[in-house]
Amino acid sequence: MEITIGIGIVAAAIALLLIAGYVKAPPDTAYIISGFRKPRILIGKAGIRIPFLERMDKLSLKMFSVDVKTTDYVPNAEYINVKVDATVKIRIGQSHEMMTLASKFFLNEGEDMIIRRVQDTLEGNMREIVGQMKLEEMVIDRKAFGERVQENAVPDLMKMGLEMISFNVQSFADQNNVIEDLGIDNISQIKKGAAIAKAQADRDIAISQAQAAKEANDAKVQADMEIAEKQTSLAIRQAELKQQSDVKKAEADAAYSIQEQEQRKTIEITSANANIAKAEREAELKAREVEVKKQVLDAEIRAKADAERYRQEQEAQADLFKRQKDAEARRYEQEQAAAADMKIAEAQRFAREQEAEGIAAVGKAEAEAIRAKALAEAEGIDKKAEAMKKYGEAAVVEMIMAVLPEIARNVAEPLSKVDKITMYGEGNSAKLVSDIVNSTTQITEGISAGMGIDLKSLLMGALGGKLAADNQPPVVVVPQVHSAAQTPAAQVDDTETE
């Protein structure tokens, strides 16, 4: 257990050391690790530095621009004092040996420090080359001057681990303006050559101009002759073309006139056909409007006539039903009265019979007669109440039948104020009347729902009662009176015979 813990501690310590010593160098900087092992150089890659045992130094690999100038005038091979201004591009060598040398001089130093250290070396090399060359050579061939300076300075730079990338001369200057005089002499030579060349050119131009004038004159004469010939041919051709053009124009004018007449004729015919079609269409539209108005008026007249006829029929049926019920009630009252008279007559007859039988039976006969009469009157009253109850339903029916024409007239009244009705699809006068009847039916159904009265059942009951009354014979009630010998004095049976 203790061994395992110890191993874990050691592993953790190693891991911490590795993490603490992990380094990664960028591409433009060299990391130089030295101390515990052989020095290592890291460029653009990662490595491990053992803490406390190894150190890490940095060496910049960037390219530096060094401005190299002679601090004063330097005599050249011709003893002419010259100043030179140049720019040099350098960097630390990329090989391991060059970096090792550079690390001895420029380790952990910045760009400015490296530039100051190599600036005087480059200036000394440039002075040496100035003293070896003539002024004209330097000025005319700057590339050769730069190459010679570069060849002279490279060995010194390599000793410090540096590489020269380029050497560019910016300017030359001398103390006695010799460079300017060289320029003036060159300018004079150039001007002289230019003047000679100009004179030769003017001579050649004059000769060429004379030759060109002669050739131009010959060409002009030849051209004038050809132009005259061409103009003559052109005039002849123009005359021929004009003649042909006049003929074609005359033919075209004639054809255009004929075509114009044909077009005018076609336009007039088309316009006339369009006017005829328009008139026919207007006539057809007017006929359709007349037909529609006719149908609307026919529908209105039919609706009003049907509503009036229906009202009259309903009023006649209600009046007939009322008269029938009155007649039935009167007949029923007469029958009841006749039955009552018959009972009275029977009672009187019975009384007379009783008188014949004896004075003792008089009281009983009178009692029986009175009882029979009372029964008859009670039954008559019941029948009358029943008749009055039926007559009340008839009265309701009569009231509804009297109001129905007014309902139909109010439903159809808005149509009388419409000037024009256009129906599409299946619309016609029958459909219009059907809509009016449906509206009336909806109103009566609303009355039934609001009052709680089933009008349809009430009408059917009234008509059924009328039919039953017409088909059945009248009801006659005949009282039967039994003698005291046959029936007990207190027992009387009344029956109805149909």
Q: How many Cα atoms within 13 Å fall on the side-chain side of residue 234?
A: 6
User: What is the chain's Cα-based Rg?
Assistant: 74
Provide the token pair at 45. 């890659």
On the question of pLDDT at 488 being above 50, the answer is: no
At 106, give phi and psi (nearest 5°): -125, 20
pTM tops 0.75: no
Dist CA 165 CA 170 (whole Å): 16
The pLDDT-based confidence of 18 (bands split at 50, 70, 90) is low
Tell me the pLDDT tens digit for each residue of 423-440.
Answer: 655 555 666 667 666 766
What is the topology classification, in CATH, of domain 62-176?
Tetrahydropterin Synthase; Chain A (3.30.479)
Residue 393: the pLDDT is 56
The pLDDT-based confidence of 213 (bands split at 50, 70, 90) is confident
Give the mean model confidence (pLDDT) for residues 329-341.
84
Q: Which 8-state DSSP code applies to residue 53? A: T
Residue 489: the pLDDT is 38
The pLDDT-based confidence of 482 (bands split at 50, 70, 90) is very low
**Which parts of 42-134 fold into alpha helices (H)?**
96-106, 111-132
> Which of 422, 172, 173 is closest to 285 using CA atoms?
422
The DSSP annotation for 402-447 comes to HHHHHHHHHHHHHHHT-S-----TT--HHHHHHHHHHHHHHHHHHH
Provide the token pair at 138. 């330097």
Contact 45, 25 (CB under 8 A): yes
Sequence ranges of the domains in the chain: 2-58, 62-176, 296-497
> Which of 168, 79, 176, 180 is closest to 126 using CA atoms?
168
The pLDDT-based confidence of 469 (bands split at 50, 70, 90) is low
Residue 373: the pLDDT is 75
**Cα–Cα distances in angstroms (integers) from residue 112 to residues 60, 67, 68, 118, 410, in the given order:** 12, 12, 14, 10, 116
What percent of the chain is modeled with pLDDT above 90?
1
Tell me the pLDDT tens digit for each residue of 215-264.
Answer: 888 888 888 888 988 888 888 988 888 888 888 888 888 888 888 888 88
Best mean pLDDT range from 26-40, 58-72, 190-204 = 58-72
